[in-house]
Amino acid sequence: MQYVTSRFSLLFIFTLSFFPGHLFAQSPDKMSYQAVIRDGSNDLLTEQTLGMRISILQGAADGTAVYTETHTPVTNASGVVTVEIGTGTTTDDFSSIDWSNGPYFLKTETDPAGGTDYTVTGTTQLLSVPYALYADTVGSYNESDPVFEAWDKNYNDLTQAPAAISDLNMDGNGAPVENVADPANPQDVATKHYVDSIVVLLMNESAGSNETFLSPDTGILTDVENNSYGIIKIGTQWWMTENLKATKYNDGDDIPLVEDYTWSDLDTPGYCYYQNDQATYGELYGALYNWHAVNTGKLCPDGWHVPSDEEWKVLTDFLGGIDVAGGKMKETGTEHWLDPNTGATNESGFTGLPGGDRSSSGAFGTDETTGHWWSSTELTTLNSWCRGLHYDNDDVNERYYYKRGGFSVRCVRD
């Protein structure tokens, strides 16, 4: 997802790796965080020192901060910044967080100039962190039923614990487990972080020239105009986490911009911005396209396409069906959605926004209350299928509309 100030933007796609610190030796609990930093011209900020404040919020996206720390990391040659949460400058105790008492949210505040004037802010819910870290801090369990009455070990078995990880014969051939950072031998232990890094490397080797993967489930997609979009794996599908902003087809040809009353007569491709106001709505909500632009097959970046009606169903079925999937697809809070934004958890990472629409008559409406997205599936000569999310329920609205209407577009990977 992208958070924008007047000058800088933070592409908030991150990976979290967990390092619980109580396995045979004590080490700090921490999480690894990554994000891509771009300036107001959408160019990467490379090898630049940033000022960052990171907070763990409890209960809600605007909840109480139970932990806060600061960092001054440096972006790499790809504009990626990496910090280890739990190792920054702070007076708080990271290990004292009760991860069982969630939900928890991660808030990042960034000063691209390296100071403490935090102008770029982003908040997202932590969905898997509590399981990894809470497991590291679980206390003892007192068994009461059933009572264990038989034991085939003796006192020495209980008291003579191995001195080191390498003393444990863990594999099928009785070879010792090696306590190494980078596995090299058949009996070496590989951490999930190590395996994920290999997976990401292989994914990037086979990726399109417009794709960069940051983890097995997240990445960045760039269109022909160098607009960048977050991408996320949901179930078996890869989806953009932002609405399309393209003003050119993927072959470089211009998409016709239609702002006047002729929109209502179009039987050819066209796009516009909500209220014809790109400055206010374009960066956050993307463009609105009629279905004739969708039907060209050239709207999405190479290797991606506008989802069919069936592909939308695959998504909502994976999220539990249309009666509940909407809440899992909506951005949380009421910064963009009208209150109460019913059921919004964004646990899918889809980050649906209320970008409004343009009717077949050319009128604009429903911003803050509704987001509509086209499918590529035609119903009749006049209508095609689409999907809608609304502020006052957690449903996904399956409907069709006139092809002359203007809706947002999300792309899905081929």
Q: Are strands 22-23 and 25-26 parallel, antiparallel or unpaired?
A: antiparallel
Fold of 2-137: Immunoglobulin-like (2.60.40)
Q: How far apart are CA 312 and CA 168, in angstroms?
A: 49
List, edge to edge, every strand of the sheet that includes 355-358. Answer: 364-367, 355-358, 370-378, 383-390, 397-402
Q: How far apart are CA 84 and CA 222, in angstroms?
A: 27
pLDDT at position 412:
98
Residue 36 burial by Cβ neighbours in a 10 Å radius (0-12, 13-18, 19+): buried
| Planar angle of CA 109, 114, 117, nearest 5 degrees | 50
Residues of the chain with CATH 2.60.40: 2-137
How many CB atoms lie under 10 A from the CB of residue 10? 26
Query: 294 near 376, Cβ under 8 Å?
Result: yes
Between the alpha carbon of residue 259 and those of residues 245, 296, 403, the distances in Å are 16, 20, 17
List, edge to edge, every strand of the sheet that includes 104-111. Answer: 64-71, 51-58, 104-111, 120-126
pLDDT at position 26:
39
Three-class DSSP category at 298? coil
Partners of 413 in the β-ladder: 304
Q: What is the pLDDT along the chain (414 residues), one digit of tens a residue?
A: 333 333 344 444 444 444 443 333 333 467 778 888 877 677 788 889 999 999 999 988 889 999 999 999 999 887 888 888 888 999 998 888 888 788 888 899 999 889 999 888 888 887 655 445 555 554 445 555 556 566 665 555 555 554 444 454 555 555 555 555 677 777 777 777 778 888 888 999 989 999 999 999 999 999 999 999 999 999 999 999 999 999 999 999 999 999 999 999 999 999 999 999 999 999 999 999 999 999 999 999 999 999 999 999 999 999 999 999 999 999 999 999 999 999 999 999 999 999 999 999 999 999 899 999 999 999 999 999 999 999 999 999 999 999 999 999 999 999
Structure tokens at 402: 């006139």
DSSP category for residue 252? S
Q: Which residue has the tokens 């999310």?
A: 389
Name which of 254, 214, 239 is nearest 350 in CA terms. Answer: 239
H helices of 32-169, in order, are 129-137, 155-159
Q: What are the CB-based long-range contacts (under 8 Å, 24+) for 159-166?
A: 164/24, 165/24, 165/189
pLDDT one-digit tens code per residue, 221-237: 999 999 999 999 999 99
pLDDT at position 191:
75
Residue 65 burial by Cβ neighbours in a 10 Å radius (0-12, 13-18, 19+): middle
Intra-chain end-to-end CA distance of the chain, in Å: 21
pLDDT at position 130:
47
pLDDT at position 79:
82
pLDDT at position 24:
33
Between the alpha carbon of residue 230 and those of residues 27, 125, 327, 351, the distances in Å are 33, 16, 20, 10
- Calculate the CA 275 to chain-centre distance: 28
**E-only strand ranges, 127-217:** 211-215
pLDDT at position 414:
96
Beta carbons within 8 Å of 206's beta carbon, 6+ residues apart = none
H helices of 258-371, in order, are 278-285, 291-294, 309-318, 325-329
Structure tokens at 308: 């069919």
Query: 179 near 189, Cβ under 8 Å?
Result: yes
Biggest CA pair distance of the chain? 88
Query: 113 near 51, Cβ under 8 Å?
Result: yes
pLDDT at position 17:
44
pLDDT at position 36:
81
Between the alpha carbon of residue 56 and those of residues 71, 86, 161, 178, 244, the distances in Å are 14, 10, 37, 35, 31
Q: How far apart are CA 135 and CA 100, in angstroms?
A: 9
Q: Are strands 412-413 and 31-39 parallel, antiparallel or unpaired?
A: unpaired
Residue 72 burial by Cβ neighbours in a 10 Å radius (0-12, 13-18, 19+): middle
The answer to whether the Cα torsion of 145, 151, 155, 158 is positive or negative is: negative
In degrees rounded to 5, what are phi and psi of residue 284? -75, -50
